[in-house]
């Protein structure tokens, strides 16, 4: 038995899914605590939607056990799992009014009429859409439709709400607004939420915990901070945030501390989370915002020529072309009166050794 | 599998049983004529007690049957060619001009599909009896041109809709004449659509009974009319042989149409 | 308007030249005979509506009209009840298997109606396959008369109508968003509720179109009642033939034909409106 601090809402034990001769999901163990907001993040084909569909009961697992709210749900039909689900295309019934759409799950649960009216009214107020109760979904905007679809979920208090790229069809501004709204609802209602997205910003904004998926496996999981600052693999580092990666061989320095010998020089590196053998290939990760274009100083650095500097509003990104042909990105805060180095000018891009992170080299191929 | 009922196994089993009974009901009448046609000439038998070709022999040696088959093929071929000649240019003009009233004309060309054939049969009967066209091959061909026009129209218009207008514009800019454009640019793109329409028209004309029943007499009787009176009055087993020939022909034409449609879909 | 004329457009002169032959033919072979029919129905040495008044008094005509409605509506309803589950079965199949099943549904569509009528007699007639089987099983005790009566007409009708109904409903079911059903399932809805609240209402346009197509086709049916029905099962189209050839009363024949023309015209117009509405709602979705 695993011991968790909060009681588990979902427990996957060795769950896998195989289609014909393709492993959509390798055996996975995952526990989601009650009240937690967990995001499944990953590129398409990484297995995140398969995982969600397994929990929803839309596909049957090839192996393993699925426990939902303390009950073995491995073979339970979808309609008996007591879930809520929000779809990317909203999946609102086009022939029903907004009110009827939200009332539908309550009718399924044989809630008395007066109670239905009260509860539908209450959630419509909660999402501030009381005035559209008698309209049909297609008369509403995308953002409104998605809020209705959320309301239809929370109205019957499912223990767990699954969201499959719910904001994928909305434009950027609306998406950010909806992210906050979903976060607010999660905080107010305390419902466990499992959210699927391929958008790292969305995952970082919303989640208590991110489960990063890659090639049908869980690559890494943890809080947004952990994934951002303490990625364990090159994949994690590259998928979340932008990164500079220097490949090299791990060696012992003059004082016995580890150093990485790369094409651009030998750099001191912090000790990795999991030990890496001396002499093995490894990679050094430095986030662009942890680098500075410096003029001397005693921090470690690489040298190169400024290729371009682009303005991204609050920050400036400098692209530095190094001697081995690789490009290092340096991100600095934008200040009034900023003077950029000229294009083609030789600069040094430096960082503090403790801001670097040593990662095992990715498997070849 | 996510079914339209949700995933209920019982519901699925019930619909599946019902569906198969229905497939059987739709399929058997079209196919059962084939084994019957190889049976004894004496009576209609299924399953046939012995296999013979006697029914086919009867069909091909009886001028009343054989003659009506020849007549039907003649009418169908003439109808198809003449309808193509009239309807393809008309469809091209409808699709590529801004003539006022072209929607009304298109409605007129589609109308035979919407009017009950018995009404057309009666009208043509009244008209042809005063024009002296009753019991003439020309009369029945004229009537069939009218009946098959909508089918060729539909096919050619949809072909024109899917063909690339830009090619015609380019040809015009390069100095090609109207006639050159039509024969060198438009027609080659319409080949499949025209073939589909032609096959449809051929089959329609070959199978048409009601109008032919009103307009033909002993001199010009087509195969469907002969079959109609035979089923009505004598129910001879030769019908099974005729039916088999017709069914095989229909199937070949249907396969041809499906293949052509596949081809145009794949190329577009 | 004129400014949008492109190089590929035909001039009005050329267009007229291309359209003229077919237009003349259709005027002569379609509009003219329809005009003759209407004219014959109201002309008895001068304009008169007496033919229609006579029809309204004729017990034969009224009985035939009732037959027509009974058979058309009854056949259509049976076709709906049988066709719906078949369409559902087709919609649930993976595409390649659906194509294979569709060929079975389309086969009667391609087969000559005379072949089908003949075959139905061979299958359901007194000496037919079904009765042979029943006789064999019951030792000769049971023989169901299923041909040359109302049952025969309905069987023939169904064989003809079902493909249209099935294809029409199938279109609606295939355009139905499967995620709605998934959504309903996650909300806890069972199969019956999903069917009544989602599948059925959303396939309504297909059902209505199917019903209208079926009624329109069956109301003018001539061959099936003539070959598979008895004397009691005469429909309007058969009455037109009866007046034309048996009693040589062309006025009554024309008036009957005009009644049929108007009825089917109304149905076609209704179908056009339903189709238009369905098209609009699909475009809006």
Asked if residue A61 lies in contact with residue A15, where contact means CB atoms within 8 angstroms, the answer is yes
Cβ-in-10-Å burial (0-12, 13-18, 19+) of A314 comes to: exposed
- Residues C179 and C202: their CA atoms lie apart, in Å, by 13
Asked if residue C203 lies in contact with residue C155, where contact means CB atoms within 8 angstroms, the answer is no
Q: Which of C179, C181, C188 to mutate to test the interface with A (most CBs of A within 10 A)?
A: C188
What pLDDT is attached to residue C237? 95
Specify if A365 maps to a domain.
Answer: no
A175: helix, strand or coil: helix
Task: For the beta carbon of residue A351, count every other beta carbon within 10 angstroms.
Answer: 23
- Residues B83 and A292: their CA atoms lie apart, in Å, by 80
Asked if residue C44 lies in contact with residue C53, where contact means CB atoms within 8 angstroms, the answer is no
In angstroms, what separates the C-alpha of C81 from chain B's closest C-alpha? 10
pLDDT (tens digit, 0 to 9) for every residue of chain A, 365 residues total? Answer: 444 456 899 999 999 999 888 889 999 999 999 999 999 999 998 999 999 999 998 889 999 999 999 999 999 888 888 889 998 888 899 989 999 999 999 999 999 999 999 999 999 998 889 999 999 999 999 889 999 999 999 999 998 999 999 998 888 888 888 899 899 989 988 899 999 999 999 999 999 999 999 999 999 999 999 999 999 999 999 999 889 999 999 988 888 788 999 988 889 888 887 788 888 899 999 999 999 887 555 578 888 899 998 888 889 999 999 988 889 999 988 888 877 778 888 888 889 888 899 998 887 65
A155 and A247 belong to one structural domain: no
With an 8 Å Cβ cutoff, is C190 touching chain A? yes
A246 and A230 belong to one structural domain: no
Specify if B118 maps to a domain.
Answer: yes
Q: In chain A, what residues touch B6 (CB-CB under 8 Å)?
A: 78-79
Please report all neighbours of B, defined by 3+ CB atom pairs within 8 A.
Answer: A, C
Residue C279 confidence (pLDDT) above 80: no
Cβ-in-10-Å burial (0-12, 13-18, 19+) of B155 comes to: buried
Asked if residue B87 lies in contact with residue B75, where contact means CB atoms within 8 angstroms, the answer is no
C201 versus C281: the higher-pLDDT residue is C201
Q: In chain A, what residues touch C208 (CB-CB under 8 Å)?
A: none
Specify if B10 maps to a domain.
Answer: no
- Residues C85 and B46: their CA atoms lie apart, in Å, by 30
Task: For the beta carbon of residue C47, count every other beta carbon within 10 angstroms.
Answer: 9
Asked if B44's CB is within 8 angstroms of C127's CB, the reply is: yes
DSSP calls for C250-269: HHHHHHHHHHHHHHHHHHHH
Tell which of A182, A205, A234 closes a domain: A234
Q: In chain C, what residues touch B123 (CB-CB under 8 Å)?
A: 33-34, 36-37, 257
Tell which of A234, A263, A287 closes a domain: A234
Taking only residues 26 to 45 of chain B, the set having a beta carbon closer than 8 angstroms to any beta carbon of chain C reads 26-33, 36, 44
Asked if residue C126 lies in contact with residue C143, where contact means CB atoms within 8 angstroms, the answer is yes
A115 and A186 belong to one structural domain: yes
A145 and A226 belong to one structural domain: yes
Q: In chain C, what residues touch A58 (CB-CB under 8 Å)?
A: 182, 185
Report pLDDT digits (tens) over C152-195. 999 999 999 999 999 999 999 999 888 899 899 999 898 889 99
The beta-carbon neighbor of C187 closest among A89, A95, A108 is A108
Q: How many domains does chain A have?
A: 2
What range does the domain containing B209 cover?
A: 63-235
Asked if residue A146 lies in contact with residue A110, where contact means CB atoms within 8 angstroms, the answer is no
In angstroms, what separates the C-alpha of B216 from chain A's closest C-alpha? 53
- Residues A131 and A125: their CA atoms lie apart, in Å, by 9
Tell which of A197, A216, A234 closes a domain: A234
- In DSSP terms, which residues pair with A163 in a beta bridge? A86, A195
- Residues A68 and A47: their CA atoms lie apart, in Å, by 20
Sheet-wide strand order for A315-322: A291-294, A346-351, A300-311, A315-322, A327-333
Residue among C117, C94, C98 at smallest CA distance from C106: C98
Specify if A114 maps to a domain.
Answer: yes
Asked if A85's CB is within 8 angstroms of C179's CB, the reply is: no
Cα of A330 vs its chain's centroid, Å: 24
User: β-strand A160-164 against A22-33: which pairing, if any?
Assistant: unpaired
User: A63 to each of A17, B114, B136, how far by Cα in Å?
Assistant: 7, 59, 76
In angstroms, what separates the C-alpha of B2 from chain A's closest C-alpha? 8
CATH number of the CATH domain containing A94: 3.40.50.300
Cβ-in-10-Å burial (0-12, 13-18, 19+) of A289 comes to: middle
Specify if B212 maps to a domain.
Answer: yes
Q: In chain A, what residues touch C284 (CB-CB under 8 Å)?
A: 138
A26 and A148 belong to one structural domain: yes
With an 8 Å Cβ cutoff, is B2 touching chain A? yes
What pLDDT is attached to residue A252? 85
Residue among A60, B9, B261, A93 at smallest CA distance from C92: B9
Helical packing angle, C50-57 and C59-91, nearest 10° = 80
Identify the segments of chain B with pLDDT beneath 70: 1-8, 266-268
Specify if B169 maps to a domain.
Answer: yes
What pLDDT is attached to residue A278? 83
CATH number of the CATH domain containing A316: 2.40.50.100
- What secondary structure letter does DSSP report for C279? H
| CA-angle at B258, arms to B257 and B262, nearest 5° | 115
The beta-carbon neighbor of C244 closest among B2, B27, B125 is B125
A46 and A179 belong to one structural domain: yes
Cis peptide bond prior to B47, omega within 30° of 0: yes
With an 8 Å Cβ cutoff, is B164 touching chain C? no
| Contacts of range C174-177, beta carbons closer than 8 Å, 24 or more positions apart | C174/C91, C175/C282, C176/B4, C176/C91, C176/C202, C176/C203, C177/A89, C177/A91
Residue C105: its H or E element: helix C95-110
Q: In chain A, what residues touch C202 (CB-CB under 8 Å)?
A: 93-95
In angstroms, what separates the C-alpha of B15 from chain A's closest C-alpha? 20
The beta-carbon neighbor of B247 closest among C90, C111, C236 is C111
DSSP calls for A328-352: EEEEEE--TT--PPPTT-EEEEEE-
A230 and A249 belong to one structural domain: no
- Residues A247 and A266: their CA atoms lie apart, in Å, by 11
A251 and A203 belong to one structural domain: no
Specify if B20 maps to a domain.
Answer: no
Asked if residue B134 lies in contact with residue B125, where contact means CB atoms within 8 angstroms, the answer is yes
In angstroms, what separates the C-alpha of B18 from chain A's closest C-alpha? 25
- Residues C207 and A250: their CA atoms lie apart, in Å, by 72
Asked if A80's CB is within 8 angstroms of C185's CB, the reply is: no
**Residues of chain A with a CB closer than 8 angstroms to some CB in chain B:** 58, 77-79
> What does the H/E/C string look like for chain B?
CCCECECCHHHHHHHHHHHHHHHHHHHHHHHCHHHHHCCCCCCCCCCCCCCCCHHHHHHHHCHHHHHHHHHHHHHHHHHHHHHHHHHHHHHHHHHHECCCCHHHHHHHHHHHHCCCHHHHHHHHHHHHHHHCCCCCHHHHHHHHHHHHHHHHHHHHHHHHHHCCHHHHHHHHHCCCCHHHHHHHHHHHHHHHHHHHHHHHHHHHHHHCCHHHHHHCCCCCCCHHHHHHHHHHHCCCCHHHHHHHHHHHHHHHHHHHHHHHHHHHHHHC
ipTM for this model: 0.90
What pLDDT is attached to residue C2? 38
User: C202 to each of A37, A199, C179, C195, how far by Cα in Å?
Assistant: 35, 34, 13, 10
A269 and A297 belong to one structural domain: yes
A197 and A246 belong to one structural domain: no
Report pLDDT digits (tens) over C83-113. 999 999 999 899 999 988 998 898 888 899 9
Specify if A74 maps to a domain.
Answer: yes
What range does the domain containing A297 cover?
A: 242-360
User: β-strand A160-164 against A63-68: which pairing, if any?
Assistant: unpaired
User: β-strand A346-351 against A300-311: which pairing, if any?
Assistant: antiparallel
Report pLDDT digits (tens) over C218-236. 999 999 999 999 889 999 9
Q: Which residue of A has its CA nearest to B9?
A: A77
Specify if B185 maps to a domain.
Answer: yes
Residue among B147, B225, A8, A158 at smallest CA distance from C188: A158
Asked if residue A224 lies in contact with residue A266, where contact means CB atoms within 8 angstroms, the answer is no
DSSP calls for C50-62: HHHHHHHH-HHHH
- Residues C219 and C223: their CA atoms lie apart, in Å, by 12
Query: Which residue segments constitute the domains of chain C, with CATH numbers given?
Result: 56-279 (1.10.3720.10)
Asked if C188's CB is within 8 angstroms of A105's CB, the reply is: yes
- Residues A95 and A174: their CA atoms lie apart, in Å, by 26
What pLDDT is attached to residue C1? 35
Q: Which of C186, C206, C281 to mutate to test the interface with A (most CBs of A within 10 A)?
A: C186
Residue A209: its H or E element: strand A209-214
CATH number of the CATH domain containing B198: 1.10.3720.10
Q: How many domains does chain B have?
A: 1
Q: In chain C, what residues touch B259 (CB-CB under 8 Å)?
A: none
Percentage of residues in chain C with pLDDT exceeding 90?
66
Residue among C116, C105, C70, C68 at smallest CA distance from C227: C116
Taking only residues 56 to 75 of chain B, the set having a beta carbon closer than 8 angstroms to any beta carbon of chain C reads none
- Residues C201 and B120: their CA atoms lie apart, in Å, by 38
Specify if A224 maps to a domain.
Answer: yes
Specify if B21 maps to a domain.
Answer: no
A228 and A259 belong to one structural domain: no
Asked if C110's CB is within 8 angstroms of B254's CB, the reply is: yes
In angstroms, what separates the C-alpha of B12 from chain A's closest C-alpha? 15
Asked if C184's CB is within 8 angstroms of A104's CB, the reply is: yes
Specify if B146 maps to a domain.
Answer: yes
A190 and A280 belong to one structural domain: no
Give me Rg for the CA atoms of chain B: 23
DSSP calls for C20-54: HHHHHHHIIIIIHHHHHHHHHHHBSSSB--HHHHH
């Amino acid at each position: 038995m695993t011991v968790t601090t909060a009681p588990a809402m979902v427990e996957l034990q060795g769950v896998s899914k195989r289609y014909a001769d393709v492993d959509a999901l390798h055996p996975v163990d995952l526990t989601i605590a009650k009240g937690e907001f967990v995001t499944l993040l990953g590129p398409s084909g990484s297995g995140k939607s398969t995982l969600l569909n397994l929990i929803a009961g839309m596909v049957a697992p090839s192996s393993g056990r699925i426990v939902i709210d303390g009950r073995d749900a491995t073979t339970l039909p979808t309609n008996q799992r007591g879930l809520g689900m929000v779809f990317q295309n909203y999946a609102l019934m086009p022939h029903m009014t907004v009110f009827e759409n939200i009332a539908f799950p309550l009718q399924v649960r044989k809630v008395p009429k007066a109670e239905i009216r009260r509860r539908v009214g209450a959630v419509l107020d909660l999402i501030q859409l009381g005035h559209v109760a008698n309209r049909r979904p297609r008369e509403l905007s995308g953002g409104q439709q998605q809020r209705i679809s959320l309301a239809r979920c929370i109205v019957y208090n499912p223990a767990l709400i699954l969201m499959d790229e719910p904001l994928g069809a909305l434009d950027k501004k609306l998406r950010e607004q909806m992210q906050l709204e979903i976060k607010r609802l999660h905080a107010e209602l305390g419902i466990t939420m499992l959210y699927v997205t391929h958008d790292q910003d969305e995952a970082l904004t919303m989640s208590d915990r991110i489960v990063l998926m890659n090639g049908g496996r869980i690559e890494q999981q943890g809080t947004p901070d952990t994934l951002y600052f303490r990625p364990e693999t090159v994949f994690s580092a590259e998928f979340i945030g932008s990164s500079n990666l220097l490949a090299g061989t791990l060696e012992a320095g003059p004082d016995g501390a580890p150093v990485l010998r790369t094409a651009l020089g030998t750099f001191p590196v912090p000790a990795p989370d999991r030990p890496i053998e001396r002499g093995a290939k490894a990679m050094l990760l430095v986030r662009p915002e942890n680098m500075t274009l410096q003029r001397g100083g005693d921090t470690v650095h690489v040298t190169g020529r400024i290729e371009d500097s682009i303005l991204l509003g609050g920050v400036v990104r400098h692209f530095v072309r190094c001697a081995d042909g690789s490009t290092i990105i340096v991100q600095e805060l934008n200040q009034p009166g900023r003077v950029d180095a000229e294009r083609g000018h030789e600069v040094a891009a430096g960082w503090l050794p403790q801001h670097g992170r040593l990662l095992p080299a990715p498997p070849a191929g | 599998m996510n079914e339209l009922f949700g995933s209920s196994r019982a519901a699925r089993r019930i619909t599946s049983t019902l569906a198969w009974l229905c497939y059987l009901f739709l399929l058997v009448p079209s196919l059962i004529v084939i084994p019957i046609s190889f049976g004894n000439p004496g009576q209609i038998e299924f399953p046939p007690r012995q296999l013979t070709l006697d029914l086919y022999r009867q069909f091909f040696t009886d001028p009343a049957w054989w003659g009506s088959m020849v007549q039907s093929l003649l009418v169908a071929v003439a109808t198809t060619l003449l309808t193509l000649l009239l309807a393809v240019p008309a469809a091209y003009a409808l699709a590529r001009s801004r003539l006022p009233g072209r929607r009304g004309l298109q409605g007129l060309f589609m109308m035979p599909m919407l009017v009950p054939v018995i009404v057309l049969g009666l009208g043509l009967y009244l008209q042809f009896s005063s024009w002296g066209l009753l019991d003439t091959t020309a009369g029945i061909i004229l009537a069939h041109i009218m009946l098959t026009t909508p089918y060729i129209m539909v096919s050619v218009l949809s072909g024109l809709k899917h063909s690339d207008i830009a090619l015609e514009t380019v040809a015009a800019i390069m100095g090609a004449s109207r006639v050159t454009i039509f024969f060198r640019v438009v027609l080659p793109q319409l080949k499949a659509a025209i073939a589909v329409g032609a096959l449809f028209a051929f089959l329609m004309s070959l199978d048409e009974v009601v109008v032919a029943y009103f307009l033909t007499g002993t001199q010009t009787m087509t195969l469907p009319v002969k079959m109609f009176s035979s089923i009505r009055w004598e129910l001879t087993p030769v019908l099974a042989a005729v039916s088999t020939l017709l069914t095989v022909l229909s199937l070949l034409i249907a396969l041809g149409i499906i293949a052509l449609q596949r081809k145009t879909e794949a190329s577009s | 308007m004129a400014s949008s004329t492109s190089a590929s457009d035909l001039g009005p002169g050329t267009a007229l030249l291309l359209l003229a032959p077919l237009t003349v033919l259709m005027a002569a072979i379609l509009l003219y005979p329809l005009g003759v029919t209407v004219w014959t129905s109201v002309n008895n040495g001068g304009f008169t509506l007496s033919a229609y008044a006579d029809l309204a008094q004729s017990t034969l005509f009224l009985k035939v009209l009732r037959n027509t409605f009974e058979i058309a509506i009854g056949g259509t309803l049976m076709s709906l009840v049988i066709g719906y589950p078949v369409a559902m079965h087709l919609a649930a199949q993976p595409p390649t298997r659906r194509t294979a099943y569709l060929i079975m549904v389309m086969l009667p569509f391609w087969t000559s109606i005379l072949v089908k009528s003949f075959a139905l007699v061979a299958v359901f007639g007194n000496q037919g396959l079904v009765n042979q089987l029943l006789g064999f099983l019951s030792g000769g005790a049971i023989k169901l008369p299923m041909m040359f009566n109302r049952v025969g007409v309905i069987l023939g009708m169904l064989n003809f109508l079902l493909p249209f109904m099935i294809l029409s409903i199938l279109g609606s079911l295939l355009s139905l968003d499967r995620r709605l059903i998934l959504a309903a399932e996650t909300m806890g809805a069972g199969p019956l509720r999903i069917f009544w609240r989602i599948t059925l209402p959303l396939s309504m346009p297909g059902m209505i179109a199917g019903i209208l197509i079926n009624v329109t086709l069956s109301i003018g049916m001539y061959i099936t009642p003539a070959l598979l029905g008895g004397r009691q099962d005469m429909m309007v189209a058969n009455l037109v033939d009866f007046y034309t050839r048996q009693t040589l009363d062309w006025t009554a024949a024309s008036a009957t034909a005009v009644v049929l023309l108007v009825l089917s015209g109304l149905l076609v117009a209704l179908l056009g409106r339903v189709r238009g509405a369905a098209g609009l709602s699909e475009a809006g979705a």
